[in-house]
Amino acid sequence: MSKLFLIPVMVAGSLLMAGCATQEAVEHAQATADQALAAANAAGQKADQAQASAQSAMSAAQAAQTTANQALQGVTDLQAMHAKKGQRG
């Protein structure tokens, strides 16, 4: 259970036990706790989506790096072949 939920409930419970909370105050505290919990859940979902996007971006970057490394190796191989032809004649 979320800490954001427990705090207003504990405050409302304390006020009720002390005899100075109205039903409206308790309902307001519960509504506030419900809103906080919903906001926390929504933020968690957005964080999960951001993490998935970041992982996708990382995969794309790694694929691009692999392609760049292969291209560089191809250029290096061509340079080596060209240098060998130049030495022969």
Q: Tell me, yes or no, whether 55 lies in a domain.
A: no
Domain that holds residue 14: 3-50+63-88
Q: Tell me, yes or no, whether 38 lies in a domain.
A: yes
As a whole number of angstroms, the distance between CA 29 and CA 87 comes to 86
Write out the E strands in the chain.
Answer: none
pTM score above 0.85? no
Q: Tell me, yes or no, whether 39 lies in a domain.
A: yes
Quote the number of domains for the chain. 1
Residue 45 C-alpha from the chain's centroid: 8
Q: What is the DSSP letter of 21?
A: -
Q: Tell me, yes or no, whether 41 lies in a domain.
A: yes
**Per-residue model confidence as pLDDT tens digits over 36-78:** 999 999 999 999 999 999 999 999 999 999 999 999 999 999 9
Q: Tell me, yes or no, whether 57 lies in a domain.
A: no
